Amino acid sequence: MGQFVEGVWHERGFPVDSKGSFVRAKTTFHQKSLSEEQERYHLYISLACPWAHRTLMTRKLNGLDSVISLSVVDPFMDKEGWFFSKAEGAIPDPLFNARTLGEIYLKADPNYTGRVTVPVLWDKSESTIVNNESREIMRMFNRQFPKLSKKKIDLCPARFENEIDQVLDEIYEPINNGVYRSGFAKTQEAYDEAVTDLFDALERWERHLAHHRFLVGDQPTEADISLFATLIRFDLVYVNHFKCNIKRIVDFPALWGFVRDFYQIPGVKETCHFGHIKEHYFRSHEKINPTRIVPKGPVLDFDAPHLRDNL
Ligand SMILES: N[C@@H](CCC(=O)N[C@@H](CS)C(=O)NCC(=O)O)C(=O)O
């Protein structure tokens, strides 16, 4: 893993502050408006990454598969960062036949400085990266294809927009980013703080979801997509690999029911690739798992009845 500095690749670990806490780098490309055109945009993702997963689920639930084309990187992130391969589930780059995702960043900006992250939304007409921030891509997919979208569910109804944004903000630091702050902490203090914040927030949303089927309103929204993207990975990876082990998700009746409920929404299951998820984390982070051995378990039944229809 590493990053570009003025277009030159440097091998580097993840950034931490003076207390040893993981600090997520800010993304660079933030264009907020798309043109509603068939096959103008291409989405580069990893099936392992929860941020990319939110954009993949949004594309799927809006029926935009044939509108926005897709590439999937190899699950293993090596010294050169994300790369393309013919691994099962991966989809090579049809636009430039690139070897690494870094090449795509340099096509957008030959002097690019920053990390090479997924997701990336590429504009074929302008030959550049439009946006590489999952929350913004998710919102654009939900809003900016009114004619081409075949959505059955509106994941960001105008009447709930403020509440959705509030919940997205509320779950980001302790939960979505919190699992990374636990796993990438370089000091006991930084880990203790992250894992405590994480489980306090999980307990808070467990109480909410015991009485509400979804996070906002009475239908799935971007807020649920974002919580789900972290929770679906939790028992498979974060409990062991990131030491998020005060409890498992299966020990929270409402959170576990919520994960199964969301997983069973038509279209969602196809976006979940447990092989890529496990392989990416356990093999790519050599400092955390030096043997790179990928554990066999746990056995989890995401298809078990969720019994949440009447909430
Ligand atoms: N804020 C970004 C974060 C994206 C991100 O950090 N993705 C990770 C994968 S889970 C990545 O590509 N990391 C590579 C790196 O930092 O070198 C978003 O939400 O899109």
Residue type, 190: A
Q: Do the bridges between strand 8-11 and strand 2-5 make them parallel or antiparallel, or are there none, so unpaired?
A: antiparallel
Ligand 1 centre from 232 Cα, in Å? 17
Q: pLDDT tens digit string along 78-98? A: 999 999 999 999 999 999 999
Backbone angles phi, psi at 114, to 5 degrees: 145, 180
Ligand 1 centre from 150 Cα, in Å? 28
Active site residue 180: yes
d(CA 259, CA 127): 38
Supply the pLDDT for residue 13.
86
Supply the pLDDT for residue 79.
93
Residues 236/47, Cβ–Cβ less than 8 Å: no
Q: pLDDT tens digit string along 53-82? A: 999 999 999 999 999 999 999 999 999 999
Of the candidates 49, 156, 244, 272, the residue annotated as catalytic is 49
d(CA 47, CA 75): 7
For every residue of 134-184, which 3-state class applies, written as one string?
Answer: HHHHHHHHHHCCCCCCCCCCCCCCHHHHHHHHHHHHHHHHHHHCHHHHHHC
Residues 135/129, Cβ–Cβ less than 8 Å: no
Band of the pLDDT at 15, cuts 50, 70, 90? confident
Q: Do the bridges between strand 41-45 and strand 8-11 make them parallel or antiparallel, or are there none, so unpaired?
A: unpaired
**Ramachandran category for residue 89: left, alpha or beta (phi over 0 → left; psi -120 to 50 → alpha):** left
**Chain length of the chain:** 311
Band of the pLDDT at 14, cuts 50, 70, 90? confident
pLDDT (average), residues 212-230: 97
Q: Which of 247, 243, 246 is nearest to 191 (CA)?
A: 243
Active site residue 191: no
Residues 201/171, Cβ–Cβ less than 8 Å: yes
Supply the pLDDT for residue 1.
85
223, containing H or E segment: helix 222-233
Supply the pLDDT for residue 300.
98
Of the candidates 180, 191, 238, 263, the residue annotated as catalytic is 180
Counting atoms of ligand 1 from 1, which one is nearest the CA of 3?
A: 17
Q: pLDDT tens digit string along 238-277? A: 999 999 999 999 999 999 999 999 999 999 999 999 999 9
For 106, the token pair is 């340099």
Residues 89/273, Cβ–Cβ less than 8 Å: yes
Q: Do the bridges between strand 41-45 and strand 69-72 make them parallel or antiparallel, or are there none, so unpaired?
A: parallel
Q: pLDDT tens digit string along 185-210? A: 999 999 999 999 999 999 999 999 99
Supply the pLDDT for residue 30.
97
Smallest CA separation from ligand 1 atom 13, residue: 117
Supply the pLDDT for residue 257.
98
List ligand 1's pocket residues with C-beta within 6 A. Answer: 1, 27, 49, 51, 81, 115-119, 133-135
Q: Residue 68's Cα: distance from chain center in Å?
A: 18
Q: Please state the pTM of the whole predicted model.
A: 0.98
